[in-house]
Structure 1
Amino acid sequence: MNFLSHYYFEQQTNNPEIVLGTVLPDLLKNANKNWSIHPEKKPDLFTQLHTSAILTGWKRHLEVDRIFHSAHFFNQKMQELKKLLIPILNDSPVRPSFLAHIGVELLLDHLLVTHQKINVNQFYNQLDAVDEIALAAFLNLCAIDKVDHFFKFYQSFKSSRYLLSYQKLENIAYALQRICMRLWERPFSEKTNYQLISVLEFYKNQLEFDFMVIFEEIENKLK
């Protein structure tokens, strides 16, 4: 799941460090794809109140992803979108399965926003309230090198309010392109990008009918 889908499950909490923890795995991956940490394996390191809360959110992220990726809903929707993407990716190096996986996740974020199931500004307000000294301590305990590099990315992520753009479907296509550019230099031609927007629009209208099913399923399993 993507940022806003993870936030959906924590939107009632008044603890900003827990909210941060639920999106921190993806923030780190975006800041530096080579960072790979597993704080959940060393919980005894995080005894301070705020670092413990970040770890709580982190473990929540892992559990939500585990349930989501093993759910019939996700696999069914990914296969449906993949079939629609295959014809437009003939001249692209991007794997249809990869694009379908990320596409379903971003479309779920888009639908949460457009159906007002979450408040994106509230999400950013929670991140603004995070104790950054505790965040730095958490990253140091995880042996992250160049913590300052992460904070530069993190401040940009917050100030840009980029996730507000997920209200528009063309921005979902743009986000997919940016993700693919981390792996392929030229993932899409101009024609493919135009076709991608059309496919996303078509599939969004199908996904819209039952997209909340997966959130309800995960919520019930988390309880």
Structure 2
Amino acid sequence: MNFLSHFYFDRNTPNVNIVLGTVLPDLLKNANKSWNVHPEKHPELFDKVGLGDLLQGWKRHLHVDLLFHSSAFFSEKTQELKRLLVPILKDSPVRPSFLAHIGVELLLDHLLIEQQKIVITSFYDNLEAVAEDDLIGFLHSCKIDDTPLFFKFFNSFKSSRYLLSYQKLDNIGYALQRICMRVWEHPFSEKNIYDLNVVLEFYKNKLQVDFMVIFEEIENRLI
């Protein structure tokens, strides 16, 4: 799941460290893809005030991702989108399965916003409220010493408020293009981009009928 879908499950959580923890695994990977840490395996290192809450959110993220990726919903929806993508990607290096996986996740974020299930500004308010010392302590306990590199990314992530762009469906297509450009130098032709946006609009209308099923299913299993 993407940032806003993770936030959905803790949208009413008053503890800002827990909220940040639920998206921290993805923030670290975006800041530096070589950072491969597993704080959940060493909880004794995070028993200080503030750090334990970040770890709680981190473990929540892992649990939600496990439930989501093992669900019948995920399998069904990614296969549906993949079938729509295969014919439009025949001249593209992009793997339809890769694009379908990410596409479903970003469309879920978009639908949460559109259906007013979350408030994006609340998400950013939570991130802004986290004490920097708590986050530095967490990173050091993860053996990440280059905290300036993380904060350069994190502060940019907060100030740009990029996730606000997910309100418009056209920007979901753009986000997918940017992600694919990290893997392939020239992922799409102009026709690919046009066809991708057509497919996303079609599939978004199909997905919105029952997309909340997966959030309800996961929420019930988290309690």
Common fold by TM > 0.5: yes
1:125 equivalent in structure 2 = 125
2:151 equivalent in structure 1 = 151
Superposed, which structure 2 residues align to 1:45-124 within 5 Å? Answer: 45-124=45-124
TM-aligned CA deviation for residue 51 of structure 1: 0.7
In the aligned structure 1, how far is the partner of 2:185 from the partner of 2:26? 22
1:210 equivalent in structure 2 = 210
TM-aligned CA deviation for residue 35 of structure 1: 1.1
- The one-letter amino acid paired with 2:17 is E
1:37 equivalent in structure 2 = 37
State the aligned residue count: 223
1:18 equivalent in structure 2 = 18
Offset from partner CA, 1:18-49 (integer Å, 9 cap, x none): 01000001111111111110000000000111
Offset from partner CA, 1:94-136 (integer Å, 9 cap, x none): 1100000000000000000000000000000000000111101
- The one-letter amino acid paired with 1:204 is K
Question: Percent identity between the aligned chains?
Answer: 69
Q: Which ranges in structure 2 are unaligned for 5 or more consecutive residues? A: none
Structure 1 ranges of 4+ moved more than 3 A: none
TM-aligned CA deviation for residue 145 of structure 1: 3.9
Please report the TM-score for the alignment, with normalisation by the length of structure 2: 0.99
3-state SS of the aligned residue for 1:116?
A: coil
Aligned-pair Cα RMSD in Å = 0.7
2:135 equivalent in structure 1 = 135
TM-aligned CA deviation for residue 91 of structure 1: 1.3
- The one-letter amino acid paired with 2:44 is D
TM-aligned CA deviation for residue 221 of structure 1: 0.6
Offset from partner CA, 1:57-104 (integer Å, 9 cap, x none): 000000000000000011000000000000111111111000000000
1:187 equivalent in structure 2 = 187
Is it true that 1:9 corresponds to 2:9 in the alignment?
A: yes
3-state SS of the aligned residue for 2:50?
A: helix
3-state SS of the aligned residue for 1:186?
A: coil
In the aligned structure 1, how far is the partner of 2:50 from the partner of 2:165? 30
